[in-house]
Amino acid sequence: MRPKTAYSAAQDDLFNPGRRNEFFLPAPRSDAALCVEMALLAYCRKEPDFGFDQDRIKNILQPIGFARPQFFESQNDPAGKGMHCFLALRNDAEKNQKLAVVAFRGTDVKDLSNLLHDADLRLEPWMGPGRVHNGFAGALVEVHSGLDAALTRVGECRLLFTGHSLGAAMATLMASLRRPDALYTFGCPRVGDTTFIGALQGVQSYRYVDCCDLVARMPPEGIGYRHLGEPYYVNRNREVTFNAPHSSIFWDHILAVAQYGLRYAFRSGNEKVRELADHAPINYVWPVKASQL
């Protein structure tokens, strides 16, 4: 029997995910496990500023073979506010090829610029196909030129895009401009309209949704938004199922909210609402890694 997968209701894991330790222990055995930890690693910043803690990220990546990551950040604020992503490269000797992973940081609620991008729900034309969330498109613009040039210099490689929350949305947008070998998203909001999603057909996409995660249900379909592909759903027992039936998800949500109220909601330091607690990046890391065992 597989050991019980951990779960965190702590507000610190939701609002300060980059403070987490013990990355890549054990070393990831799959692209999904690698990408979910890369998405969490993208939150590492030099507190109280918002820029990447580059030395820490380099030290974490080095033991798993990724050397000299490249960092791309908005340049409009001395405290490092804005958008952030990094590019990590590794030579996979067994597969005789180079692996490149691009990880985009998600929303930092202390950074007003992030919240403004999240709140701009207008579906608008952009530099790619279809209409997309205007705020997410604006977020990608802040790092796109430098990242795209770096990927061109990398040349032939196996390419993965990943991110959590706003970072997942940016990774999805980037995948429509430069096709990766695979796209891994965690807690991804809806990004664009039917035309945009149609243009991504053929991209290997793995969209993970943690139980009641509210962000993964926004913006609403009623104003024209659509999701890319069917979800890998993490249920209340922390098990991952691909494309679970809507009826089973409905009842799982009901039981999950009730369970949360009894076990977690009223403990000091915990998030009161399950729909927010389920969005914490670590609550994606643990079940995704467990599902690869």
- Topology (CATH) of 11-291: Rossmann fold (3.40.50)
- pLDDT band at residue 94 using 50, 70 and 90 as cut-offs: low
**Residue 1 pLDDT more than 60?**
no
In the chain, % of residues over pLDDT 90: 90
Looking at residue 93, what is its pLDDT? Answer: 65
Each residue's pLDDT tens digit, 31-59: 999 999 999 999 999 999 999 999 999 99
**Residue 262 pLDDT more than 80?**
yes
Tell me the domain boundaries of the chain.
11-291
**Residue 3 pLDDT more than 70?**
no
* DSSP, res 17: G
Each residue's pLDDT tens digit, 5-14: 999 999 999 9
Instruction: Classify 9 as helix, strand or coil.
Output: coil
Each residue's pLDDT tens digit, 168-217: 999 999 999 999 999 999 999 999 999 999 999 999 999 999 999 999 99
How many C-beta atoms lie closer than 10 Å to residue 140's C-beta? Answer: 25
**Residue 228 pLDDT more than 70?**
yes
**Residue 4 pLDDT more than 90?**
no
Mean pLDDT of 251-260: 98
Looking at residue 192, what is its pLDDT? Answer: 98
Mean pLDDT of 252-277: 97
**pTM > 0.85: yes or no:** yes
For residue 166, with 0-12 CB atoms within 10 Å meaning exposed, 13-18 middle and 19 or more buried, which class applies?
buried
Rounded to the nearest angstrom, the gap between the alpha carbon of residue 6 and the centroid of all alpha carbons in its chain is: 19
DSSP bridge pairs for 207: 185, 231
Distance (Å, whole) CA 126 – CA 12: 35
Instruction: Classify 107 as helix, strand or coil.
Output: coil
**Alpha-helix residue ranges (DSSP H) falling in the chain:** 11-15, 31-41, 54-61, 112-119, 134-154, 166-177, 194-199, 246-263, 274-277, 282-291
Distance (Å, whole) CA 160 – CA 35: 8
Looking at residue 219, what is its pLDDT? Answer: 97
Each residue's pLDDT tens digit, 59-82: 999 999 998 999 999 987 888 899
Contact (Cβ atoms closer than 8 angstroms) between residue 105 and residue 165 = no
Looking at residue 23, what is its pLDDT? Answer: 95
Contact (Cβ atoms closer than 8 angstroms) between residue 224 and residue 193 = yes
Looking at residue 171, what is its pLDDT? Answer: 98
